[in-house]
Amino acid sequence: MRHYNDLKFIIDEYPRLILGGKEGSFVKKCCYSIIMEKIDVSEFPPPLFIEDRIEVYFQKVIQVTKTPGEILSLLESLKGVEIPFLFYETEGSLSSDERDFLGNFLVSSKSLILSVPFPSLDSMEEFFSEAKDRSLIGFKPFYLSPFEWKEVR
């Protein structure tokens, strides 16, 4: 339960997050639960979850996979609309297409959470100590698992 309360605080504190973890579905479920506590579900648009594949269906959010047709349709329908929360699942380092795509949402989303798989806290710390990806400037990285929670520096 402590991790959950910590994550609630972190989501409030930092509008741009990178949440790494071995279990992407755990990270996704935690974020969904917290986001649903924070928003008025009657307002439009709802939070947006862009996922590699939809493993769990969440109520009262927009969920899409990263297929080109869905993404283009989504971009067109949300043009000029402020999104309260964007959860974006990636398979690893952001490709140039993903960076361009996310650039569309940096201004229009109040909170943007990147979910990135890492097998361990050590591997995530190593990645951030070596990688100086300019597209990640302004994002606060944290490692989250059912047993571990830590800011990555």
- Residues 73-130 pLDDT 10s: 777 777 778 888 889 888 776 667 777 777 767 767 788 898 988 888 888 888 877 7
Decide if 4 is inside a domain.
no
How far apart are the C-alpha atoms of 97 and 78, rounded to whole Å?
19
Whether 1 is covered by a domain: the verdict is: no
For residue 92, being part of any structural domain is answered with yes
For residue 67, the domain's CATH number is 3.40.50.300
Contact 90, 98 (CB under 8 A): yes
- In this predicted structure, the answer to whether residue 58 has a pLDDT above a threshold of 90 is yes
The count of domains in the chain is 1
With cut-offs at 50, 70 and 90, classify the pLDDT of residue 1. very low
Confidence of residue 59 (pLDDT cuts 50, 70, 90): very high
> What are the backbone angles phi and psi of residue 8, rounded to the nearest 5°?
-60, -45
81 in a domain, yes or no? yes
**In this predicted structure, what is the pLDDT of residue 8?**
82
Of residues 107 and 63, more confidence is placed in 63
Q: Is residue 7 part of a domain?
A: no
CA distance 87 to 15: 11
d(CA 103, CA 125): 25
In a domain, 79, yes or no: yes
Whether 3 is in a domain gets the answer: no
Give the pLDDT score at 41: 76
| pLDDT at residue 44, as a whole number | 82
Whether the CB-CB separation of 144 and 48 falls below 8 Å is answered with: no
Domain that holds residue 60: 17-151
Residues 120-149 have pLDDT tens digits of: 888 888 887 776 555 566 788 899 888 777
Tell me whether residue 32 is in a domain.
yes
Quote the Cα angle for 30-15-135, to 5°.
Answer: 105
pLDDT score of 107: 67
**Dihedral angle over CA of 15, 104, 85, 142, nearest 10:** -40
| pLDDT tens digits, one per residue of 29-44 | 989 998 988 888 788 8
What is the structure's pLDDT at 57? Answer: 93
Say which amino acid occupies 135: S
